[in-house]
């Protein structure tokens, strides 16, 4: 039985929050039995904006530990660090020569990040989506679980694949499709019209947040600016999204019924939600601490993933070099 290949990348950002957990990590975990998954911590992407080299390693270990603590099983998936497989950058160059500058300049994320950049805008920021395309096609992935904000990058990857295959006259790469499975879109607690983000203070609950702080943030979460007709307001909708992520379906149904009947008390909802989040996060926090207390074991897990990923990447690169006319053997 051949499982379909899935690739996804996660940025080694400092803190992982419950939005990342419900939107991405849980999604990855749900795929690990039915797909052949390759998951990468994308450190080459992380350097396209200003960063601090002295914390890169600890951030990578932190993200790896978080995912494993949340249930990602390195025996089922390949989990590795992008820079362990230099073929990512080699393939990026080949694809760079097939990507139009206009398409890169149209990327929403590039425009946003460029406008926030105070100094120079470097080519790495613009070429970010090419590196992302290389990530995916290096493993000939057919499916890519991503949030909506990455769909434009995925569409560009598809375009690059089509150009590659037609330029060289062979279906070397499959066109990757998005897997937009149930990933929840969690909004900022203090502003439910923007996405939860670690760059918005007060907006998020980290996966390792302590119980008291979780209670405070949920009790303080913005609910509704006023009557919204029959539509649920964005704040209350966000609380329900979180409830669905952390509480049992019976609890969710009870509160939905209360809401429909017009007798939902926000305080009750918030108290129940806070406890559900605490119950959900406590084991993750504990497992993560344990994993991080043995960094050598964690590094060995990543090394093993890197070896497996690289074995596949080397094969793809051989094929690419060959079809693109690069026939000089490596020393």
**Residue 80 or 240: which CB sits closer to ligand TRP?**
80
Residue nearest to ligand TRP (CB): 9
Residue 4 annotated as catalytic? no
- Closest by CA to 186, choosing from 145, 227, 254, 244, is 244
**Residue 272 or 316: which CB sits closer to ligand TRP?**
316
Catalytic residue among 5, 26, 140, 195: 195
State the minimum distance, in angstroms, from the CB of residue 7 to ligand TRP: 6
Determine the 3-state secondary structure of 74 from DSSP.
coil
Distance CA 209, CA 271 (A): 16
**Residue 45 or 217: which CB sits closer to ligand TRP?**
45
Distance CA 44, CA 50 (A): 12
CB 320 within 8 A of CB 98: no
What tokens appear for 52 in the block? 């601090």
Helices within 139-210 (DSSP H only)? 151-168
**Residue 45 or 215: which CB sits closer to ligand TRP?**
45
**Residue 135 or 142: which CB sits closer to ligand TRP?**
135
CA distances from 140 to 77, 113, 135, 181 (A): 16, 29, 9, 20
State the minimum distance, in angstroms, from the CB of residue 84 to ligand TRP: 14
CB 27 within 8 A of CB 183: yes
Residue 195 annotated as catalytic? yes
Query: CA end-to-end span of the chain, whole Å?
Result: 38
What tokens appear for 100 in the block? 């139009």
Distance CA 7, CA 78 (A): 10
**Residue 235 or 305: which CB sits closer to ligand TRP?**
305
Distance CA 165, CA 161 (A): 6
State the minimum distance, in angstroms, from the CB of residue 72 to ligand TRP: 15
**Residue 87 or 247: which CB sits closer to ligand TRP?**
87
Distance CA 44, CA 83 (A): 6
State the minimum distance, in angstroms, from the CB of residue 12 to ligand TRP: 10
State the minimum distance, in angstroms, from the CB of residue 8 to ligand TRP: 4
State the minimum distance, in angstroms, from the CB of residue 40 to ligand TRP: 7
Catalytic residue among 113, 237, 256, 308: 113
Task: Name the site residues for ligand TRP (rule: CB under 6 A).
Answer: 7-9, 11, 42, 45, 132, 135-136, 144, 146, 150, 153
CA distances from 296 to 65, 68, 71, 247 (A): 12, 15, 20, 35
State the minimum distance, in angstroms, from the CB of residue 6 to ligand TRP: 9
Residue linked to tokens 């998005």:
178
How far, in whole angstroms, is CA 120 from its chain's centroid?
27
CB 197 within 8 A of CB 206: no
Length of the chain, in residues: 331
Active site residues: 113, 195, 198
């Amino acid at each position: 039985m051949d499982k379909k290949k899935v690739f996804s990348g996660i940025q080694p950002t400092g803190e992982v929050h419950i939005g990342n957990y419900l939107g991405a990590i849980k999604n990855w975990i749900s795929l690990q039995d039915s797909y052949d998954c390759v998951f990468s911590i994308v450190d080459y992407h992380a350097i396209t904006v200003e960063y601090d080299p002295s914390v890169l390693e600890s951030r990578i270990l932190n993200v790896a530990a978080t995912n494993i603590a949340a249930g990602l099983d390195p025996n089922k998936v390949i989990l590795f660090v992008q820079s362990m497989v230099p073929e990512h950058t080699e393939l990026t160059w080949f694809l760079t020569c097939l990507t139009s500058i206009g398409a890169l300049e149209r990327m929403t994320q590039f425009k946003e990040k460029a406008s926030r950049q105070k100094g120079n805008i470097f080519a790495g920021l613009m070429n970010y989506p090419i590196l992302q395309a290389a990530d995916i096609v290096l493993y000939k992935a057919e499916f890519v679980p991503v949030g909506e904000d990455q769909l434009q990058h995925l569409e560009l990857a598809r375009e690059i694949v089509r150009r590659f295959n037609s330029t060289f006259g062979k279906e070397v790469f499959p066109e990757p499709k998005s897997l937009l499975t149930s990933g929840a879109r969690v909004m900022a607690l203090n502003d439910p019209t923007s996405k939860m983000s670690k760059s918005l203070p007060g907006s998020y609950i980290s996966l390792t947040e302590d119980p008291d702080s979780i209670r405070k943030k949920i009790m303080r979460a913005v609910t509704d600016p006023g009557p919204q007709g029959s539509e649920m307001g964005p704040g209350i909708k966000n609380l329900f999204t979180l409830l669905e992520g952390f509480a049992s379906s019976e609890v969710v149904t009870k509160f939905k019924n209360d809401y429909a009947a017009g007798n939902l008390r926000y305080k009750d909802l918030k108290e129940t939600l806070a406890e559900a989040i605490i119950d959900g996060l406590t084991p993750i926090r504990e497992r993560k601490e344990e994993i991080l207390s043995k960094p050598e074991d964690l590094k060995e897990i990543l090394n093993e993933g890197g070896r497996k990923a690289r074995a596949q990447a080397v094969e793809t690169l051989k094929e690419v070099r060959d079809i693109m006319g690069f026939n000089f053997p490596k020393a």
